[in-house]
Chain A
Amino acid sequence: MAVTGVFMSSVADTHTQDHGHHGPAKGFSRWLLTTNHKDIGTMYLVFSFTMFLLGGTMAMVIRAELFQPGLQIVQPEFFNQMTTMHGLIMIFGAVMPAFVGLANWMLPLMIGAPDMALPRMNNWSFWLLPCAFLILLSTLFMQGGAPNFGWTAYAPLSTTYGPPSTTFFIFAIHIMGISSIMGAINVIATILNLRAPGMTLMKMPLFVWTWLITAFLLIAVMPVLAGVVTMMLMDINFGTSFFDASGGGDPVLFQHVFWFFGHPEVYIMILPAFGAISHIIPAFSRKPLFGYASMVYAVGAIALLSFVVWAHHMFTVGIPIVGQLFFMYATMLIAVPTGVKVFNWVATMFRGSLTFEAPMLFAVAFVILFTIGGFSGLMLAIAPADFQYHDTYFVVAHFHYVLVPGAIFGIFASAYFWLPKWTGHMYDETLAKTHFWLSFIGMNLAFFPMHFLGLAGMPRRIPDYALQFADFNMISSIGAFMFGATQLLFLFIVVKCVRGGEKAPAKPWDGAEGLEWTVPSPAPYHTFSTPPEVK
C-alpha cells in the first residue's frame, strides 16, 4: 500500500466490551444463522479446504492411473468423471470460495467497516454452496455416473451424449452462480459504501482493489455461464437445438459463450491473489509497495482485456483468420500489464530488508512460478504455435502453474499472513516452512514434466498413453502424491495454531501496514463499530 503517511486513528476497540452480550450464539445455530463476516469468512475457508482435499483426492486417482501405461486402477469412464469433477471442485469449490472467505474476513478489517454491507445475504450466499456441492457430488452415485465431459462441458458431448446426471450438474452450476453473484454484490456494496472516512479509492489496500475488480468480473460473467448451461438444459430436456447442427444449431456457439465466461473466470481466480501478494511482499521487504497506482491500473487493464480474448481457447475450431489474428494480438497484450505487476513486485523487494517467514516464501514462489505460467501462457497465445500446444499436457502444465503456485500459493501465503490475526496465536514457523518446501518441490515435480509431455505430443484428458510418455508421467505422479500428502500438514498446522501457540501481538509482522493490524489479535467478534479515520 503506497499510502505512506496514512495514520490510523487509534481504535482500541472499546465498543465490543460495552456490548458483550452481542457475542456469538452457541452451538450449530451460531454457524447456521450467523451474519458475522468473520464467522462466514471462517466457514468459507473451512469449506474451501474441505473441497481442496476432495478435489485433490480425485487428482490422486488421476495421477495413480497415469503412473504407468496401461489401465490399472480405473476404467476410462470413471477416469473422465474424475478429471471433470476435479476441475469443477477445484475451481468452484476450492479456489473461488477461499478468496471469498479471505474477502469476508479481511475486507471489513482493511477498510475499517463493522461488517459486510449485506450480512444476511452473506449468510445465504455461503449456505448455498454446500447445497450446490451436495448436488454435484451426488452425481457420482447416479446411474450412468457423474459428468464425464470435462469441466468445460463442450456440447454435444455434454448434451446429446452426456450422462443422465448432466441435468443435476447444470442445477448445481446455477446455484454456485447465484452464490457467487450474491457474494460479488456484497463485496462491491461493502467497498463502495463502508470505507472509513478518509479512505479514498486510491488509498485502498490492493487486496480491496483487486477484489472490487474481481467482483465486477463475477457479476459480468456468472450470468453468462448460467445462460450457457441453461441452453444445455433446453437442448437436453426440451428439444431445442442450440448446439445441435442437425437441428440448425452450432456446437461452436457453446464454446464462444462458455469461454466468454471462462476467460474472465481465470482472472477471477488470480486477481485476489495479486492483491494479497501485494501486501505480503512489502511487509517482509520492510519497504512500501513499488508503483501502487500502476498496480491498480494494471489490474484494471487485465480485467478489461479478459473480455476480448476468449477465443484463444478455440484457435483450432476453425475461426476465420481475421478473428484468429485479433484474438492472438489481444491475448499477447495481456502480457504487458501482467509484466508490470511482476516488475513492481521485484522492484519492491529490491533494496528492501528481506526476511523469509512462511507467507514471504509462498509469495516469492508465487512471483517466480506464476511468471513461468505467464511465459507458457504467452507461448500459447501465439496462434500458430498453439496448434501444436492446444489440448496437450503443455496446456495442463500452463494452467496448473498459474493455479497452483498462483492462486493456491497466494491463498496459503494469505492464510499464514493473517492466521495470527484470526486465531490470536502464531503458527509453527518450522512446520510452515516444511509445508512450503514440500509443496514447492512436489508441485514442480508434478507439473514441470508436463511441459515436456505436451511438447512431446501427449494429449490431455487421456487415461492411458503411448510408451514414450512413461518416464515423465511417473515422475509427475510421484510429485503429485508428494504435493497431495503435504497438504495434510497444512491442516495440522492450522489446527495447532487455532488451539494454541505463542500469543500473537496486534501486529505480528514489523513491516506490515493496514487497518487490520490496528485491532487486537485475535480480532474481536465485532470490530470498527466506530469507524477509524484514515488521513
Chain B
Amino acid sequence: MRVHAKRAGALASGLMLPAMSMADWTVNMSPGVTSTSNEIFSLHMTILWICVVIGLVVFGVMFWSIIAHRKSRGHKPANFHENTLVEILWTIIPLVILVVMAIPATATLVDMYDTSEADIDIKVTGYQWRWKYDYLDEEFGYFSNLATPLDQVQNRQDKGENYLLEVDNPLIVPVGKRVRLLLTANDVIHSWWVPALGIKKDAIPGFINEAWFQVDEPGVYRGQCTELCGKNHGFMPVVVEAVPGEEYNTWLAEQKAAARKERELTRQDWTMDQLMARGKKTYQTACAACHQPDGSGAPPAFPALKGSAIATGEKMAHIDIVLNGKSGTAMQAFGGQLSEVDLAAVITYERNAWGNNTGDIVTPKEILDYKNQK
C-alpha cells in the first residue's frame, strides 16, 4: 500500500515538475510596448471591469434569490411577471454603457488604421511555414525560420527558454522610428502577430494589408502565426528585435553588403561538392518540411523526391517545377524565394542525394539563363 502511494506520489510530482519549475501563471494581457498596444490594453481593462461590475450586480441578485427564496426555507412565490418600467430601464442602461465603450474603441481603431508617414517600409510575406521580410527601400530581404531544434519538439532534448518562439533571423527594426508593414502571403492565409506591438494582421495571398508600429524601447518581442496555415502552423514564430539607431545602420550596411556578395556568387564557378553542401542546407530550410529530410515525402500531398521521375529525369522539367511550382498543389514557386545560387544548389542536391545519382550539375548561371529566357 505504502509503496503504491509513494509511486503515485513520485509519478504525480514528476508530472507536475515542469509546471512547478516554470511557475508562470500569467492571467492577463500585457500592456505591450507601443502606443497601440497600450491603448488596446486600457480598452481591454475598461471593458473587463465593466463586465465584472455588471456580473456582480446580476449574479448578486440571482444568488440572493438562490439563498433567500428557497422553497426549503418556506418562501412563498410571488406572482408578478412583468414591469414595463424595469424592462425599459434594463434595455436603455446597457445601451448607454455600450455607447460609453464604443467611443474609446472607435478612437483607437482610427489611430490603428492611420498607416501614413512611415519611416521604414517592410514587406512581410507568409510562407508555409516561415516569414520573409523584405526591406523595400534597401533592396534586400531574408527568411525567418523557426530555430528550435526538432529534437526539442520530439522530447529528445530539454526544451530551451524560448521554445518555439525563436527564429534564425529576426525582424530587425530601429527604435523610435515609425515602421510600416505591408503584409501578404505566398500560399495560404497566415496572420502576423506580436502581442507586445499590438499588431495582428492577416497575410493573404494576392492582397496587401497594412499595419504600423513604433517601438521606443530596445528589446526582443515574440509572437506567432495566428491563422491556421497547415501542419506546421504552430511552428512559425515571429521575432522582432528593436535596436538603437546606430546598431540598426551597421546591421543594414552588413545586410546590403551580404546581398551584393550573394548576387556576385551567381557569376562564380561552382563544383559539385560546393553545390551539394549548399544544396543540403537550402533543402533543410526550404524543402524538408514537406518532402522530408530523407526525400521520402508524405504522399499523396507531398510526393517523394527520392527516385522520383522529376528529380531523376529531364533537368529542365526539374528546374521548371522548382522555380514555378505546380498549380493546384502545395508545391510553391521557389523562383522568387531563393537566390539563383540556392536554386542551383538545391536542384543539384535533389538530383544527386538519396541515391538519385544522376551526376547532373545545375549551375547558378543556368538558373539565371532559364529565368531570362522567360
Q: B300 contacts which chain A residues (CB < 8 A)?
A: 143-144, 164
Residue among A71, A328, A459 facing the most chain B CB atoms (10 A cut-off): A459
User: Is B66 positioned at the interface, with any CB of A under 8 Å from its CB?
Assistant: yes
Q: Are A76 and B71 in contact (CB under 8 A)?
A: no
Q: Known A321-B113, A385-B105, A387-B198; judge A245-B87 contact (CB<8 A).
A: no
- CA A518 to CA B55, docked complex, whole Å: 38
- Shortest CB-to-CB span from A462 to chain B, Å, is 3
Q: Which of B39-47, B273-281, B311-319 contacts A (4 or more CB under 8 A)?
A: B39-47
**Chain B 145-167 near chain A by CB (<8 Å), digits 1 or 0:** 00000001111000101111100
Given A252-B207, A353-B70: A288 in contact with B94 (beta carbons within 8 A): no
Q: Using A76-B234, A245-B205, A335-B98 as known contacts, say yes or no to A350 and B69 having CB atoms under 8 A apart.
A: yes
Q: Is the CB of B55 within 8 A of A343?
A: no
Q: Which residues of A contact B232 (CB under 8 A)?
A: 76
- Kindly specify which of A28-36, A270-278, A367-375, A401-409 makes contact with the partner chain: A367-375
Q: Quick check: A474 and B19 within 8 Å, CB to CB?
A: yes
> B187 → chain A, closest Cβ, in Å?
7
Pairwise interchain contact B78-A466, C-beta atoms closer than 8 A: no
Find residues 357-400 in chain A having any chain B CB closer than 8 Å to their own CB: 364, 367-368, 371-372, 375, 378-379, 382-385, 387-388, 390-392
Per the 8 Å Cβ criterion, residues 121-163 of B in contact with A are 128, 152-155, 159, 161-163
Q: Which residues of A74-98 have CB atoms within 8 Å of chain B's CB atoms? A: 75-77, 80
Interface residue stretch chosen among B222-230, B249-257, B344-352, B360-368 = B222-230
Q: Which residues of A contact B109 (CB under 8 A)?
A: 321, 324-325, 328, 383-384
Find the B residue at minimum CB distance from A333: B98
- Is the CB of A467 closer than 8 A to any CB of chain B? yes
Given contacts A251-B206, A316-B202, A385-B40, A160 and B330 within 8 Å (CB-CB)? yes
Q: Say yes or no: is A429 at the interface (Cβ < 8 Å to chain B).
A: no
Contact present for B62 and A368 (CB under 8 Å) = yes
> Which of B22-30, B169-177, B240-248, B259-267 faces chain A?
B22-30
User: What is the minimal beta-carbon distance from A437 to any residue of chain B, in angstroms?
Assistant: 15
Complexed CA–CA distance, A461 and B78 (Å): 49
Least CB distance, A512 to chain B, in whole angstroms: 14
Q: Which of A11-19, A226-234, A450-458 contacts B (4 or more CB under 8 A)?
A: A450-458
Cβ of A524 under 8 Å from chain B: no
Residue of B nearest to A386 (CB): B200
In the complex the two chains form, is A332's CB within 8 Å of B159's CB? no
Query: Is B77 within 8 A of A352, CB to CB?
Result: yes
A388 touches B200 (CB 8 A): yes
In the bound complex, CA of A510 to CA of B75 (Å): 15
Does the CB pair B69–A388 fall under 8 Å?
Answer: no
B3 at the interface (CB under 8 A from A): no
Question: Chain A residue with minimal CB distance to B153?
Answer: A71
The 4 closest A-B pairs by CB, nearest first: A245-B206, A462-B234, A318-B209, A375-B51
Extra pairs beyond A364-B66, A372-B55, A461-B228 (16, CB < 8 Å): A68-B18, A70-B155, A143-B300, A150-B228, A157-B188, A287-B81, A318-B209, A324-B109, A328-B102, A339-B94, A371-B59, A379-B44, A384-B40, A459-B234, A463-B234, A467-B161
13 contacts between A and B (CB under 8 A): A245-B205, A251-B207, A287-B78, A292-B82, A317-B204, A318-B209, A324-B109, A349-B65, A350-B64, A355-B70, A382-B43, A464-B234, A468-B26
